Structure 1
Amino acid sequence: MGRDDLYITVPNFFRCPISLDVMKSPVSLCTGVTYDRSSIQRWLDNGHNTCPATMQILQTKEFVPNRTLQRLIQIWTDSVRHRVESPESPPSVPSLDQILCAIRDMQTQSQNRLDSLTKIVCFARESKENREFLANVDGLVPILVGFLDNVDDAVSESVEFLEKFVEALDLVLNKGQEQREQLAKLMLKRQSNCLSSLVLVLQQGSSSESRIGSARILEAMAVDAESKVLIAEKEGVIPELLKLIALTPEKDGGVIESGLSCLVAISMAKRNKMKLVKFGGIRILSQLVSETNLSVGVTEKVLKLLETVSSSKEGRAEICEDERCVAGILHKVLKVSSVATEHAVTILWSVCYLFRDQKAQEAVTKANGLTKILLLMQSNCSAAVRQMAADLLKIFRVNSKSRLVYYDTNTTHIMPF
């Protein structure tokens, strides 16, 4: 390793103005200037009553720890240590100084903003620590949102540019409630083009990362009832999310799961449920719930979405008309997860017991649902699930009393696992 390889550039604001060394315990005076604790304490102990950097007379000699700066210095220090100890790390990852310059270029509307954005994305992909650092940079999220708002959604040539911004925004969001509320306020303001930009990426994005990013950003924006309605009302949002979850042989599971998560987040409002049904959501969900190779996470989200739409008249009607959908839900009652069991049983209880749909009852009977419900009753399920299963048995006792007696006397020894 050459001497140049070991050269580390220290960001200026990490240095103590007195010692010029990297601060170990940064503290701020009443003037707002930050120093290393040992250096400023020595200055004050020597009888000085001024701020060394500004020479202002101090109204108080007390100082407070600068926790944010200390955290940033720690992240930077860990990053430097990792690069020194692992020289095989890709040299293409931008340094912290380069990232700070890139953010400054973005703020000044520099012509090099695409290059700056590429550096930010590369830096964020490198580690969780890097993403946390970017999430703590004041003003970065509004900058990224501002560019999404200013790109003409009718210009298809800008899609590649938009994808970079979407990916960067997705990476730097910490998904905390405060930042989510800030994001929703920025992106849903009147006359904003941000939603149009996200829809454009969902429609024409060339990478799964950018489409996943768009879905995640939409989900992060759904902080309350008003924001959920505004998102779903945007033309193209629900149709494109449904295309995202439509099962195809080449589709990545992460793409499907991100689309499902977003739909779950925005689908609680009645008008949003109706939109899901109107745009063919039940057909797509029926295909998914009938699959046997889905991950547990995807299965749970599919069932959660079906449970949500089953609370509407239109949703129940489509579920009950689709025999394959009812059979698929019944198949997921056992051996997936406790969460999946609760969603599946709730759907069946809603359509068969609460609303007494004859077609749904026939589909459950045809798919040997009585056996599965009896097995569920013998499993270690929750009290709520057990009660719904008991209610379902009452329905089928009326419809198939003799058959139920057969099951009662011949299958009580069978355990579901």
Structure 2
Amino acid sequence: MVLPMSRATRLVPELPLLRRGRRPQVADAGNEEELAVPAHFRCPISLELMKDPVTAPTGITYDRESVEGWLARGRGTCPVTGGPVRLTDLVPNHATRRMIQDWCVANQAERVPTPKVPVAEADAAEVLAAVSAAARRGNAAACGLLAARARAIGKESDRNRRCLAAAGAARQLSSAFQSLAGEPVEGTSAAVLGALRKILAALTVFFPLDDEARRCIASPASLKTLVSVLSHGDLAARASAAIVLRELASSADRHTVDIISRTPGLCSALVGLVRNPVSPQATKAALVTAYYLVSGSDRAAARFAELGAVPVVAELLVDADKGTSEKALAVLDSVLCADAGLESARAHALVVPVLVKKIFRVSDMATEFAVSALWRLCRAADAGAGACCAEALRVGAFQKLLLLLQVGCGGVTKDRASELLKLLNGFRGSVECIETVDFKGLKRPF
């Protein structure tokens, strides 16, 4: 049942309260007192003070964020009157906004800032068309400025971002990147390099990539340029390139992923980004990309192992946070599918202890990857596997695996934990256990 405005207001038992003295420049904490917000300044949906009042064709004023959220959920009517309302029908109510601002100042409440006008669909399309036109003309400077403008508009509000995305922002920016790509970064003019950096930064705002955008980024010229940016770009550009690659790899088909993995220098650039991190976000993006490249591809797994991925990931895991640990363990488990990965892991003193340490200490997902990686190291009937079994037993794997089966795990993890226990049981009685938390007593290879 739709309630009239007055009745809906009467059903609210208490008016929302602000506190006096909340303006940033007022430091007198003892001057605070509760302040009732006038009913006509409150949004009928959120019942809170309106920051960006807009009026629907039905004559009811709402806070923009609340009513746009209402319409985004598939409702096409006015919440108060039930009349039809479209997003394009909303008109800024400047008079009410100024009254609210004056009221805030008069009552020493924090002043509501003047909102920025949302981008119109026609304006969004115009900006994006200008980006593509500048790229086709080879005007790198103009293309970079327009891409930065699109990014700034998209960052202003989620509504702007959705509007630009619906207008094809990812597709247009990817096409512009492809048009300017091709030459190594170290030999590229400053204008082109700046444009590429701004396009990549803008792209990260408008995910997901559609099919056409993925084709543009996965083109040989674009991938070649991405490798150069990952290897030689500034810190911000390298982070943006890693994030774009992550989005591409995580949404592409297996054939496209194989093309990406075969791009000269790309695997090396990803390992380098993990070895010499530029930001936590870039490190995680590089790990996710690496996982998609090596998962299901022994050739890619062997390539990452040859590039030193195993010791790099093992060192990263020692003090990694939850998100990084899960991603790093996933990469390590996949790299161990290759013989070169197993050989590298067995030669590194940290791998087995760090895998045992991560069981139970991070998350269920991390435990599954750690158990799987440990199982790959220990299952072969050779001297290397035997040494891994003895080391795993020494750092407490037997007790952790028993506990894992007791508290419950299923599927492949349960089978591998049970098999590991059988393998480790043959070494019990001849190996002294140590505490793994601080890796005491380990001989590290550096």
- TM-score normalized by the length of structure 1: 0.69
Is residue 2:346 matched to residue 1:323? no
- Determine which of 401, 416, 423 is the counterpart of 1:373: 401
Two-structure CA RMSD over aligned residues (Å): 3.7
Is residue 2:178 matched to residue 1:149? yes
- Distance in 2, Cα, partners of 1:346 & 1:254: 26
Q: Which amino acid aligns with 1:163?
A: R
Note if contact 1:94-1:119 (Cα within 8 Å) is conserved in structure 2. Answer: no
Aligned twin of 1:29: none
Greater CA deviation, 155-164 or 117-126? 155-164
Give the deviation of 1:95 after TM superposition.
4.4
Aligned twin of 1:168: 202
Aligned length: 330
* Secondary structure at 1:129 match in 2: helix
Aligned twin of 1:360: 388
* Secondary structure at 1:363 match in 2: helix
Stretches (4+) displaced over 6 A: 76-86
**Structure 1: runs of 5 or more not aligned:** 1-7, 9-23, 25-64, 407-417
Is residue 2:299 matched to residue 1:265? no
Q: Which amino acid aligns with 2:263?
A: K
Is residue 2:154 matched to residue 1:124? yes
Give the deviation of 1:80 after TM superposition.
10
- Distance in 2, Cα, partners of 1:185 & 1:307: 29
Give the deviation of 1:305 after TM superposition.
0.6
- Distance in 2, Cα, partners of 1:333 & 1:240: 30
* Secondary structure at 1:193 match in 2: helix
Q: 1:22-37 to 2 correspondence within 5 Å?
A: none
* Secondary structure at 1:104 match in 2: helix
* Secondary structure at 1:254 match in 2: helix
* Secondary structure at 1:311 match in 2: coil
Note if contact 1:247-1:288 (Cα within 8 Å) is conserved in structure 2. Answer: no
- Distance in 1, Cα, partners of 2:345 & 2:305: 10
- Distance in 2, Cα, partners of 1:233 & 1:144: 24
- Determine which of 305, 320, 323 is the counterpart of 1:297: 323
- Distance in 1, Cα, partners of 2:97 & 2:233: 33
Instruction: Identify if the C-alpha distance between structure 1 residues 204 and 99 changes in structure 2 by more than 3 Å, giving closer, same or farther.
Output: farther
- Determine which of 155, 159, 162 is the counterpart of 2:193: 159
**Structure 2: runs of 5 or more not aligned:** 1-51, 53-66, 68-83, 101-110, 434-446
* Post-superposition CA distance 1:36-91 (Å, at most 9, x none): xxxxxxxxxxxxxxxxxxxxxxxxxxxxx9x9xx66x38x8799999988862686
Aligned twin of 1:241: 270
Instruction: Identify if the C-alpha distance between structure 1 residues 383 and 160 changes in structure 2 by more than 3 Å, giving closer, same or farther.
Output: same
Instruction: Identify if the C-alpha distance between structure 1 residues 213 and 333 changes in structure 2 by more than 3 Å, giving closer, same or farther.
Output: same
* Secondary structure at 2:334 match in 1: helix
- Distance in 2, Cα, partners of 1:82 & 1:306: 58
Give the deviation of 1:206 after TM superposition.
2.2
Give the deviation of 1:387 after TM superposition.
2.9
Note if contact 1:333-1:372 (Cα within 8 Å) is conserved in structure 2. Answer: yes
Instruction: Identify if the C-alpha distance between structure 1 residues 115 and 317 changes in structure 2 by more than 3 Å, giving closer, same or farther.
Output: same
Instruction: Identify if the C-alpha distance between structure 1 residues 394 and 82 changes in structure 2 by more than 3 Å, giving closer, same or farther.
Output: farther
* Secondary structure at 1:323 match in 2: coil
Is residue 2:363 matched to residue 1:333? no
- Distance in 1, Cα, partners of 2:370 & 2:127: 49
Instruction: Identify if the C-alpha distance between structure 1 residues 383 and 169 changes in structure 2 by more than 3 Å, giving closer, same or farther.
Output: closer
Aligned twin of 2:332: 306
Note if contact 2:144-2:194 (Cα within 8 Å) is conserved in structure 1. Answer: no
Q: Which amino acid aligns with 2:127?
A: A
Is residue 2:125 matched to residue 1:104? no
- TM-score normalized by the length of structure 2: 0.65
Note if contact 2:119-2:160 (Cα within 8 Å) is conserved in structure 1. Answer: no
Is residue 2:310 matched to residue 1:282? yes
Aligned twin of 2:49: none
* Post-superposition CA distance 1:95-131 (Å, at most 9, x none): 4465444223224337533322221011122233322
